[in-house]
Structure 1
Amino acid sequence: MRDTDFQKSLRGPKRLATALIFSCAAVSATADVDSANIDADATTVLTNMSSYLTGLSAFSVDFDASTDAITQNGQKLKLARSGSIAVNRPGQFRVTNHGALANMEFILDGDTLTVFGKNINRYLQLPATTIDDGVAGVRDLIGFDVPGADLLSNSPLDPSSANVLSGVHVGMTTIGGQDVHHLAFRGDDVDWQLWVKDGDAPLPVQYVITSKLIAGGPEYSILMSNWNTKPMADEATFTFAPPSGATELSSFEIDAAGNISEISE
């Protein structure tokens, strides 16, 4: 696939993604957390959200996400995309991506992880039996995480293991007609903000990660909507059916737009 001038101008997708894209290395890496620097209200909201998500055996949610890319001449571009996430614990998920970055689909059926490049109708498979294994497999394979990776894990954004230097409960606000808590945290490499729905179902509504390592402070943002915490069980959702003409690969690389480029069948 021939690179466009825009793709050539980007400063490496893996470098950008390492700092931004829902990376467990960026936000959920194990670190010593100084509770004195974390607002008690922020800890309570984050803990309640993490516990609530952990207790869901299945869920689905739609998302709109954007990633800032910094060109070689210093211009910041916001790459937007949309998609959906479906989870059936402990070992199934399906994440779809449509848009400017990483036009892919990720399917874990409980035994096999499939990464499907929709632009070129190619896919790669590897063994994975748990959601955490599947998320790690995607990260190792393509250099960045599936959308919502921090929220898919067995302990979503657990305060005891998050990379947090300080944290505050900024206050209450409204997103999409919902009352939400606005939390802000600082880490070694990134700052991150989280908006969590108020009430008995403390679901995440928006999540923003800001790089502290890359000039220009590029951000990754995801806005979640249409949460369903009791989806109908459907094995077909978590089964990969290769489209007509699809070819299985043994390896591939990711281009500057986050899609499969160089391939090996």
Structure 2
Amino acid sequence: MLRTSSVRMLGERDRESVYALLDADPVGNVFVSSRLRASGLHSGRLGAEVWGYVERGSLTALCYSGANLVPVNAGPVAIRHFSEQARSQGRRCSSIVGPVDAVSDLWSRLGPLWGPARAIRERQPVLEISEQPHTAPDPLVRRVRMSEFGLVLPACVAMFTEEVGVPPDAGDGGSLYRARVEELVRTGRSFARIEGGRVVFKAEIGAVTPYACQIQGVWVHPDLRGRGHSEAGMAAVVRYALAEIAPCVTLYVNDYNTPARAAYRRVGFREVGAVRSVLF
């Protein structure tokens, strides 16, 4: 049971109003929108709950509660209600991710009970591109084949560990992460440049809606960094994505990653917002 009359669990009957809310910001909401479009709003199939904040009879905000806790279109009042619900359940997520102000407010309420966080990424610029890349794509970047799964998985693990600070097999031995990487390869959303049995560059398209897709897991082999592989590789992935997946490509990046931000600017990405991440 949800704790307040203003917040309720959302389900399939709310599909139309949920999508209207998500599609008002297709770039900012691409992760949640992708998950709900793929699995629906039934918590059993989704593996998560979706809480809705209802104001004067209309859905004005929601919160995705799964491995990530993600507020959507949530102002201070909605955040207060969502934090009450989250506190009543206890922490089930491995991160809180969303707009800077919303996550800051949410964490100020949850931190005393859930803290300390392992890491907080205060500001991660959200970037997008909807036109052809400004730089030449790497012609050797292509979709990863299933026969190459054994090559690309260690690169994915290395990227995750470098980015998040803990390996992806810290909880369940890596079975869920392995399944996710395999799914992205199988569905043609994993891209890489592979030479001599070594992954030079790789990236995945982790979230897809009719309006946008989100690149994740961008990684260059440590021995080959500083040679332009990231810039040319990203240009290649953007080209594939715009031609075959969605009309807008987005990602978010750590604000302190100066080389990556410069490379993305050269490719043609522009900053359209920012998120904050609290990692446990």
Fold conserved (TM > 0.5)?
A: no
What range is the shorter-chain TM-score in? under 0.3
Larger strand share, 1 or 2:
1
Structure 2-normalised TM-score?
0.24
Larger helix share, 1 or 2:
2
- In our comparison, the structure showing a higher alpha carbon Rg is 2
